[in-house]
Amino acid sequence: MENIAENINNKIEQCLSACSRQKRFLIPALLLLIAENPTHGYELIEKYALLGFTDAGSDPGAVYRTLKMLEAKSFISSFWETDKPGAAKKIYSITEEGLLLLKRWMSEIRQRKKILEIFIKRYESLIYK
């Protein structure tokens, strides 16, 4: 049991480390959107833009590469929806490990928000002197 928890923590750390170098919040946004409602890639791209992020809209491949990576690391799972009219769609769902990663991302985002608020206050103290 301890090895499983350690493995999950290692995967979370690797993902956070890789993502912290990115300017965008694609991974936490995708996890949030999938946690809210399991869905397919194209809809995730549309919903991502509605969150105010625009970087994935110009590179849908980034969304699909990220989904593939999250699935390989067991943060999400998928199945093919074939019972509806039209082409089959790959539907993504969040896993328990994915919820842990999302929780960790929320902690990281809150910390970044605090830092940015301090930065903004210091900047505003310069221009409003």
- Give residue-wise pLDDT tens across range 16-73: 766 554 446 899 999 999 999 999 999 999 898 888 876 555 678 889 999 999 999 9
Distance, in Å, from the CA atom of 1 to the CA atom of 44, rounded to the nearest integer, reads 34
Rounded to a whole number, what is the distance in angstroms from the first to the last CA of the chain? 57
Segment 86-105 mean pLDDT: 95
Which range marks the domain in which residue 29 is found? 2-127
- CATH number for the domain spanning 42: value is 1.10.10.10
The number of domains in the chain is 1
Residue 74 in 3-state DSSP?
coil
